[in-house]
Structure 1
């Protein structure tokens, strides 16, 4: 059983490194984003939350939700970072693939998220976590604008 778990974690790590290499943006950031989420994981994972996109000196309220695989535990997450490849604000909303790694023990926790959508928009987010969670995996994330 331990060997299977180790092999699964190794597969996720290798997949994550490939995704990180593909997601790294070239060029300057076109926007910034802040996200707050509640994440829960036990092999499968789920997250729900919201935040703010700052694009061309204007703020847009966003919703964020996702389902995925990998990790164990629960935490709240605050993420901030840069958005690349955004030329029209409407291209920001939609489905993203997210690669994540991070940890949380009590009030201490850190991690990194890389998200990419089909329109070429890429986000690199630094995270702070609170709770008890080990996170390594991939998710499908749906981002929308609050109306």
Structure 2
């Protein structure tokens, strides 16, 4: 996952799309196979790669399928913490900025510090969240993460008696 995210950020979407076109697919997502709920983060990365190589209709179809899974999961009740982050990525790519920011806010309130699974170092570096850059709500969430990490660094330095 992290390699795919870094490749996408480095402009290597063509390689990712080529992998998606193989029988094994990309990050567990394959042509013609139903998307599983545990592959929502993967779906966002695959969709972003497909869009970057001009395959928007396929990307949009994948995002619609992911959105349907997300809606069904929320309709059943409370979702796992990681699900909020994954939903935010799908919704950000769909242009549902308010829903994406709300999911990130819920994740933050529930204790997420953007450190689940294979996340990049900074929230704003996540390829699926790029459409949110500059959005006031997203920038507020991003600032809260930064403040959390600053406090964490200070506390770690204090406990380990390291000058920062």
Tell me which interval the TM-score lies in, with the shorter structure as reference length: under 0.3
Rg (Cα) greater in structure: 2
Higher helix share: 2
Q: Normalization by structure 2: what TM-score?
A: 0.23
Q: Normalization by structure 1: what TM-score?
A: 0.25
